[in-house]
Chains A and B, each alone.
Chain A
Amino acid sequence: DIQMTQSPSSLSASVGDRVTITCRASQTISTYFNWYQQKPGKAPKLLIYGASSLQSGVPSRFSGSGTGTDFTLTIRSLQPEDFATYYCQQSYSTPRTFGQGTKVEIK
């Protein structure tokens, strides 16, 4: 199985801050990589697919980058509705695997 390791596990930030979350795969996965946002009691929501493509309807303050083993999710200017848990996921091979999550909290 491909292991996905996110960092940090949690972070505190203020509205307007630039936030960066990283994810590392245990082997190269090209750009078969996705980011999700999950709010309490809700299903995850796809934000970024193919490492850098913005899912339809997702605000442009979200962006993704990376290829191979190292990937980054950036939120350009954090908004109140962005406080949530973010997960990375590889879709290079099965079983699909997720990172452990990064909880973004209000400072």
Chain B
Amino acid sequence: QVQLQESGPGLLKPSETLSLTCTVSGGSIRSYHWTWIRQPPGKGLEWIGYIYYSGSTNYNPSLKSRVTISIDTSKKQFSLKLTSVTAADTAVYYCATEDGEGGLNIWGQGTMVTVSS
């Protein structure tokens, strides 16, 4: 069974770049859409984007100018970079898998990222 674990800095200053990594264990990275989602404190879920193992990506247009998702199949990791962060980017960031049916069936535990001066 695939398991996911997010890692990365929990505190950033405005204008810095958010960098998170999701490590995949227990299964192949050569399947699924590897997805990033975020949830601001007390609010709902926002889809950031996904990457396939081939490297093809799809981003939320609301973040597209600032987002890059990449994958390293040899390390079984995929990563999120979000540039020029502001307080509005403060959220719990989740990595997840989207299976062939379209559901996000496996989630990491989430990592809180706070943007504050």
Do the two chains belong together in a single complex?
A: yes
A87 touches B45 (CB 8 A): yes
Tell me the A1-53 residues at the B interface (CB within 8 Å).
Answer: 1, 32, 34, 36, 42-46, 49-50, 53
In whole angstroms, what is the CA distance A96 to B102 when docked?
10
Interface size, A (range): 20 to 34
B contacts with A, residue count (CB < 8 A): 23
B105 touches A101 (CB 8 A): no
Rounded to whole angstroms, the CA-CA distance of A96 and B107 in the bound complex is 16
B81-117 interface bits toward A, Cβ cutoff 8 Å, 1 = contact, 0 = none: 0000000000000101011011111011110000000
Number of A-B contacts (CB under 8 A): 63
- Enumerate chain A residues within 8 angstroms of B61, measured Cβ to Cβ: 1, 95
Q: How far is the CB of B110 from chain A (nearest CB, A)?
A: 5
Q: Are B60 and A95 neighbours in the complex by a CB distance under 8 Å?
A: yes
Assembled-state Cα–Cα distance A16/B110 (Å): 32
Q: Are A98 and B45 in contact (CB under 8 A)?
A: yes
A63: interface (CB < 8 Å): no
CB-based contact A91/B102 at 8 Å: yes
Query: Which residues of B sit under 8 angstroms from A98, Cβ to Cβ?
Result: 44-47
Given known contacts A95-B60, A98-B44, A34 and B107 CB-to-CB distance under 8 angstroms? no
Binding site for B on A (CB under 8 A): 1, 32, 34, 36, 42-46, 49-50, 53, 55, 87, 89, 91-92, 94-101
Sampled A-B contacts (29; CB under 8 Å): A1-B61, A34-B102, A34-B103, A36-B104, A43-B96, A43-B107, A43-B110, A44-B94, A45-B107, A49-B101, A49-B105, A50-B101, A50-B103, A55-B105, A87-B44, A89-B104, A91-B101, A91-B102, A92-B102, A94-B47, A94-B60, A95-B49, A95-B58, A95-B61, A96-B47, A97-B47, A98-B44, A98-B45, A100-B44
